[in-house]
A and B are shown apart, each in its own frame.
Chain A
Amino acid sequence: MSINWSNLFLVAATSLGAALLVVALFSVGVRLLTNARQAEAKAKKGDDASARVEAISRTLSYIAFSLCGSALLYGIYLIVPAFHLTK
């Protein structure tokens, strides 16, 4: 019997790494977005600095979300063999 331990370890490491990466990206997005919302409320009261903070946080959060989304798309790419039949 040959249990492929190195493959098993690889599965464990990739799963762990990828799950943490995707969840971290989304969480960062969540944090930045709530920052932006908070700043937005202040900006409405005429605080210019807050308006800048809002713009930056919002942009960064959208970047984090789209990175997370691309990871998801990559996952779909992986499960559809039609995309990599060249092997």
Chain B
Amino acid sequence: MEPIIIVVAVIALALFFDFTNGFHDTANAMATPIATGALKPRVAVAIAAVMNLAGAFLSTAVAKTISVDLINENVHLGAEMVFAGLTGAILWNLTTWFLGLPSSSSHALFGGLIGSAIAFAGMNAVNFTKVIEKVLIPALFAPIIAGLAALLATRLAFLITARTEAQKNAGQTTGRGIFRVGQIFSSSLVALSHGTNDAQKTMGVITLVLVATGFQADGGHVEIWVILSAAAAIAFGTYAGGWRIIRTMGSGLAEIKPAQGFAAEISTGVTILASSNLGFALSTTQVASGSVIGSGLGRKGGAVRWNKAGQIVLGWLFTLPASAIVGALSAYLVMAGPIGLFIDGIITLAVVITIFQVSRRNKIGHHNVISEVEGASKAISSPKSIRAAAKAAEAAKKSAERATKQAASKKKGGK
């Protein structure tokens, strides 16, 4: 049995990850209804929070986490290893949130755990076949499937509700605003399925640690307090609202009209449901982003901001390796003993606080989440700090050039 303080620290960290998972992924369900005005921002996140909470309670049968599959059975999953993995997941999740990138929280979690396992037990610790099978292949196909569904569904919706010029002149409207009402339900479905999926992962991690440290006899069930705290953490995180990512998905990727929003949400919901029923663990985030792009392509004259989409895909590619690296680094720290663990905890806390502090400088909240569409994408791609750094670099370059010129002219003068 390991010291209880480490177990407590891991549980706290797992719940904090759950919280970041919530506010990172609010956008999956609520970006499109907020963008079309179907729901007021604060109402939307409240609904998403309730749905996540409900989802976490509804489906507690799935205690087996995919992370167990990815790491070979002969590796002993200790509390320290999970601790290090979680710090990797949290740091990457917060970084992508700060950049407004909708990256997969599940990939961050898997990446962190994989990196930590490699650091602790070597390359053999990870079942790479399973990683490809369960993480990479679905990550490749999920957004494409959802995007295609959303594209065709959007086309269909516009086709069915289209009116001829003559009908329009006779006062006939297309009634496409009615899709806003549908969006309330379709986005709730997405939020619910998110709760059933993602809160599970945290519950699984906590249960894993409890079993590994002997606080729980077997992993066959999930303790009620684990369910309660994980559900509360994800709901609270969802309500906090990841406004930066909502902005990217609601207006940074494509302009969304109610019919498109409805088509995108239905496609997201249906793809997640179909795949989780057939044993494919999809990332909600990737499915939702694929749907938004698909519905953007589906409307005539609808434009997709491909540079933003490219950034997002790049974020997906980096999520697993990047959090694996952070996970591995903190694993090396943790291996140094209790002091290493303490230092790792302090560093994580410091980085988290720094990110929150810096993010307050160009705050994105419910008040400005979907205003000035054009400004939004600019503000996200170049936060103040980056812009300031770029300016400073340019100034430095100029002054350096001036200096070399002066030096050159002096030399000439000397000759």
21 A/B residue pairs, CB under 8 Å, sorted by A: A1-B133, A3-B137, A8-B137, A8-B280, A11-B141, A15-B146, A15-B270, A19-B152, A19-B266, A20-B156, A22-B266, A26-B182, A27-B157, A33-B175, A33-B178, A34-B161, A35-B172, A78-B273, A79-B192, A81-B59, A82-B59
B276 touches A79 (CB 8 A): yes
Docked Cα-Cα span, A41 to B170, in Å, equals 11
Q: Is the CB of A31 within 8 A of B150?
A: no
Beyond A20-B152, A81-B62, whether A15 also contacts B178 by CB under 8 A is no
| Closest residue of A by beta carbon distance from B275 | A11
- The reply to whether A26 and B157 form a contact with Cβ atoms under 8 Å apart is yes
Instruction: Report whether A34 and B152 are in contact in the complex, using a CB–CB cutoff of 8 Å.
Output: no
Query: Which single member of B132, B175, B271 contacts A34 (CB below 8 Å)?
Result: B175
Indicate which residue in A10, A75, A80 contacts B189 across the interface (CB closer than 8 Å). Answer: A75
Interface residues on B, range: 35 or more
| B270 contacts A19, C-beta separation under 8 Å | yes
Interface residues of B in 351-408 (CB under 8 A from A): none
CA–CA, A69 and B156, complex, Å:
18
Q: Is B193 an interface residue (CB 8 A)?
A: yes
Residue B5, interface by CB 8 Å: no
- Contact across chains for A78 and B277 when beta carbons are under 8 A apart: yes
A23 contacts B156, C-beta separation under 8 Å: yes
If A30-B178, A31-B161, A79-B192 are given as contacts, then 11 extra A-B residue pairs at C-beta distance below 8 Å, sorted by A number, are A15-B146, A16-B145, A19-B153, A20-B152, A26-B182, A30-B161, A30-B179, A38-B170, A38-B171, A72-B189, A79-B58
The CA of A20 and the CA of B145, in the complex, are separated in Å by 13
Task: Using CB atoms, name the residue of chain B closest to A75.
Answer: B273
B166 at the interface (CB under 8 A from A): no
In the complex, whether A49 has a CB less than 8 A from a CB of chain B is: no
Q: How far is the CA of A16 from the CA of B280 in the complex (A)?
A: 16
**A residues touching B (Cβ–Cβ < 8 Å)?**
1-4, 7-8, 10-12, 14-16, 18-20, 22-24, 26-31, 33-35, 37-38, 41, 68-69, 72, 75-76, 78-82, 85
B278 A11 Cβ-Cβ under 8 A: yes
Residues 262 to 290 of chain B near chain A (Cβ within 8 Å): 262-263, 266-267, 269-271, 273-280
B145 near A15: Cβ-Cβ < 8 Å: yes
Interface residues of B in 250-267 (CB under 8 A from A): 259, 262-263, 266-267
Closest A residue to B172 using CB positions:
A38
Min CB distance B35 to A, Å, is 18
Q: B162 — nearest CB in chain A belongs to which residue? A: A31
In whole angstroms, how far apart are the Cα atoms of A26 and B171 in the complex?
A: 22
B342 at the interface (CB under 8 A from A): no
Instruction: Select one of A1, A3, A7 contacting B279, CB under 8 A.
Output: A7
Contact B172 A34 (CB under 8 A): yes
